[in-house]
Amino acid sequence: MTGSAERVKSTSPTKTRAKGSIGIYYIESRNKRHHGKPDKCYYIAYRDATKKLKWEKIGWGSEGYSREMAANIRAERVRASRHGEVLPKKRKTVTLGQVWKKYDEWLDTSKKKPVDDRSRWRMHLEKKFAGVPLARITPMDLENLKTQLLKQEKAPATVKHILVLVRQLFNKAIAWEMWAGDNPIKRVKLPQLNNRRERFLTHEEAHLLLKELEKTSVQWRDIALVSLSCGLRAGEIFQLRWGHVDFNNDLVLVADSKSTIRKVPMTSMLKEALLERGPSEPGELIFKDQSGGMIKKVPNSFFSTINRFGWNEGIEDRRQKVTFHTLRHTYASWLAIQGTSILTIKELMGHKTLAMTERYSHLIPDVKQSAVQKMEEAFLRADR
């Protein structure tokens, strides 16, 4: 670990000067390998305030140390020596479990769902890494962890979340000055995810769903209609107030962020349904839970309705299952099928990037041939 200077005896292994560097040396291990090559341990040499030559061991490449890091540390030592500053005390060995302890305290005030990280730590990381010093956790250790989790048939998304937690722990250790090395997760390729939802409802299925929902809850029929007619997410619908509905211009106003509002045209069917519910005071919620407050989640009765149709029976792929979010996906799919441009769909859906919308491009009819044909016809008419 980086720390106060230590005198290296003449009997120590021969050091090689790092090419193109001043005062940076290394020795190569005869046994340890790092990235397919002999592991290197870096040292720095400099003169202290009394002009006495000092040697300091920085650390091994497999521990996250590099020539660049050694150069930065040496620069700090030289600067401190020149200006009479006190060199930092040698850091104590810090384990991932010690970082987690501080991270666990930080979670409650910094994350919406701290229970998720705590579950990942307890189930997948604590037993294996809690007592391991940060310097000894290598990219290969994390690659092995990834392989083991995938062999256990953990979903790629789950494996990614676990590795991201490791990345966060190292990043926080660096930010909290508990660790001066690199983050080993940088050299680990995270699992590729394919969360693109594919299932969308036909027009007939949508009508069936609305009629079935109406039998048990007119409110949930209307909530489903908002998603099918405007492409709103469940959370966006739950937050809708009467002031967000412009009946004069047939628009629903959705707050994408604190500073941006997207305006979504309202269908006549949705307008009629909302007029039957209200309108009321601008600040009043359009849809409420049983206590009159904001709805927090989609109820089990919605999923029971889906199950009665058997749409998810025998389906394991979550992308093919019908959920409430399927209604928003259906809205975008219907727009694409009728030839709506990708840019228009992007604006209506409130996507931050065009890449998020391009998943619908395969549904848009290929109009290139007809467009070129029309251009040619106009050109030929001008020659008559």
Each residue's pLDDT tens digit, 313-346: 988 877 788 999 999 999 999 999 998 999 999 9
pLDDT given for residue 350 in this prediction: 92
Say if residues 213 and 257 touch (Cβ distance below 8 Å): no
Q: What residues contact 369, with CB distance under 8 A and at least 6 apart?
A: none
Burial 67-94 (b: 16+ CB within 10 A, else e): bebbbebbebbbebbeeeeeeeeeeeeb
Contact of 298 with 223, CB cutoff 8 Å: no
Q: Which of 48, 50, 67 is nearest to 5 (CA)?
A: 48
Residue range 96-187, CATH number: 1.10.150.130
Q: How high is the pLDDT of residue 4?
A: 40
pTM tops 0.85, yes or no: no
Q: What would the mean pLDDT of 268-282 be, rounded to a whole number? A: 94
DSSP bridge partners of 149: none
What pLDDT was estimated at residue 286? 97
**Closest Cα to residue 91, out of 1, 204, 184?**
1
| Domain limits, the chain | 16-82, 96-187, 203-363
- Domain 203-363: assigned CATH number: 1.10.443.10
